[in-house]
Structure 1
Amino acid sequence: MMDDQHVNPFDDERHLFLALVNAAGQYSLWPAFREAPAGWRVVHGPDQRAACLAHIERVWLDLMPAAV
């Protein structure tokens, strides 16, 4: 079993997450304790990891990036 120091923050369901989107319409799951990277904006959360992933699956219907 892995200890807490080796858990990937993107997989650690004990934390809250954000759903982000960029100008090209691409979505990302992001830990809420980290600031969103430049060029990305929060569109859902903070919320549980599963809820953020469900939001992304609901709204990201076209996986092709938009022309920016």
Structure 2
Amino acid sequence: MFDRDDISYRVVRNDEEQYSIWPVPRDLPAGWHAEGAEGTRQECLDHIGKVWTDMRPASLRLRMAEAD
């Protein structure tokens, strides 16, 4: 139902700085927050492609930085 291109989506991000898209009409799942961008499914995926350049969870990036 929510994989259609005729509804609006929003870009969401969790505390590990991982991104996803979520249909605007639905409440956000626990642990996810609206990132600010909204649009078509493809517009949201394109936005994620630009801003999510490091796929590692934030906790892993922090641990790796501390190990250096």
TM-score bracket, normalised by the shorter chain, equals: 0.7 to 0.9
Gaps of 5+ in 1: 1-7
TM-score (norm 1): 0.79
Count of residue pairs brought into register by the alignment: 59
TM-score (norm 2): 0.79
Q: Which moved more, 1:15-24 or 1:36-45?
A: 36-45
Higher Cα radius of gyration: 2
Tell whether 2:4 aligns with 1:15. no
Task: Please give the secondary structure, in 1, of the residue aligned with 2:4.
Answer: coil
Residue 34 of structure 1 corresponds to which residue in structure 2? 26
Displacement over 2 Å in runs of 4+: none
